[in-house]
Amino acid sequence: MKLYDYAAAPSPRRVRIFLAEKGITLPTVQVDLRNGEQFSDSFRAINPDCTVPVLELDDGTCIADAIGICVYFEAVRPDPPLMGSDPEGKAIITAAQRRAERDGFYAVMEALRNFTPGMKGRSLPGPDGYEQIPALAERGRARVLRFFETMEAELAGRDFVCGSDYSIADITTLVTVDFARWIKLAIPEQSLNLRRWYDHVSARPSAKA
């Protein structure tokens, strides 16, 4: 089993933090996104979507999705649970993770990919060369600021995004906050709940993954 990864990229970092929290280590293969290795014929044979992370299982099956990979490891190593331990907890964490991804992570990605000169013709990940849409970069920035506001309110009186236990919803939110630096957005000074939470989850050893 091995993980196709790129150390500087936020999407595989979600998986690396998840694995660190589970105490799982895996051999990794670095795919040099900065030099376009994801578009090479050899990597396309592994993942036609040309993205990392990809988990290659021992039978050759490839899981080419960060959350799909986390689902795999949650099933093979349930402790500590990071995706909920009862039906209600699983549902709440799934919904919170998806909201952080949609309103936070993807909004940063929209802002970045539709603005950065080096990403012309790559407004979405993957092999299809969609052109940049400047209005989408602006909308992305506005959405990230709204996401920070939402999380500031949600985290009042809470240790973690879904209550008293650390979960995959914290991982996506943490990676989103760090990813937002790429578009020069940071947690507002006055967002005290979000800042406290960020300092707390960033101090966990897994955050270095």
Where do contacts with its own copies occur on this chain (CB under 8 A)? 49, 55, 57, 61, 63-65, 67-69, 71-72, 75-76, 86-88, 90-92, 94-95, 98-99, 123-124, 128, 130-131, 133, 135-136, 139, 142-143, 146
Least CB distance to its own copies at residue 84 (A): 8
Least CB distance to its own copies at residue 40 (A): 20
Residue closer to its own copies by CB (options 98, 181) is: 98
Q: What is the DSSP string of 144-167?
A: HHHHHHHHHHHTTT-SBTTBSS--
Least CB distance to its own copies at residue 89 (A): 9
Least CB distance to its own copies at residue 179 (A): 17
Q: How many C-beta neighbours within 10 Å does residue 131 have?
A: 9
How far apart are the C-alpha atoms of 54 and 52, rounded to whole Å? Answer: 5
Per-residue three-class SS string for 15-43: HHHHHHHHCCCCCEEECCHHHCHHHCHHH
How far apart are the C-alpha atoms of 181 and 168, rounded to whole Å? Answer: 21
Residue closer to its own copies by CB (options 72, 159) is: 72
Residue closer to its own copies by CB (options 7, 142) is: 142
How far apart are the C-alpha atoms of 158 and 47, rounded to whole Å? Answer: 39
Q: Do 50 and 43 form a contact (C-beta atoms < 8 A)?
A: yes
Residue closer to its own copies by CB (options 114, 191) is: 114
At 93, list the tokens: 């964490």
Least CB distance to its own copies at residue 202 (A): 26
Least CB distance to its own copies at residue 174 (A): 20
Q: Is 84 helix (H, G, I), strand (E, B) or coil?
A: coil
Residue closer to its own copies by CB (options 13, 99) is: 99
Residue closer to its own copies by CB (options 157, 205) is: 157
Using CB atoms within 10 A of its CB, is residue 159 exposed (0-12), middle (13-18) or buried (19+)? middle
